[in-house]
Amino acid sequence: MLNTARTVSGAPSAYRNCVPGSTYVHLADAVTAGHAVRAFLVLGGDGWKLRDYFTSGKLSEHLIHAALVRVVTLEAFIRLANNGQL
């Protein structure tokens, strides 16, 4: 089922199954508006029950613009930063 929620601009949301106003949607909107080239959603800490699912890439099956926001663990983000791959 397509999420028919509207964005702040009033345009239809392009993100299936995303809660309007969620951090993921805001990050993707920032990239599409040209405010950033890419975005990362970093999951740190032990409390993530679905951490492996979110960071596996399977979440992208449920999002139209999944390529705009990369979901990574804190450790992966530090590794990317240390290797100059951000």
pLDDT in tens, 25-80: 788 888 888 888 888 889 888 888 888 888 898 888 877 778 888 889 999 999 99
User: Containing domain of residue 70, as a range?
Assistant: 38-82
pLDDT band with cut points at 50, 70 and 90 for residue 22: low
pLDDT band with cut points at 50, 70 and 90 for residue 81: very high
Question: Does a structural domain hold residue 19?
Answer: no
Question: Does a structural domain hold residue 28?
Answer: no
Structural domain total, the chain: 1
Question: Does a structural domain hold residue 71?
Answer: yes
pTM attached to this predicted model: 0.66
Question: Does a structural domain hold residue 9?
Answer: no
Residue 83 has pLDDT above 60, yes or no: yes
Question: Does a structural domain hold residue 72?
Answer: yes
CA distance 63 to 10: 19
Question: Does a structural domain hold residue 1?
Answer: no
CA within 13 Å, CB half, 56: 8
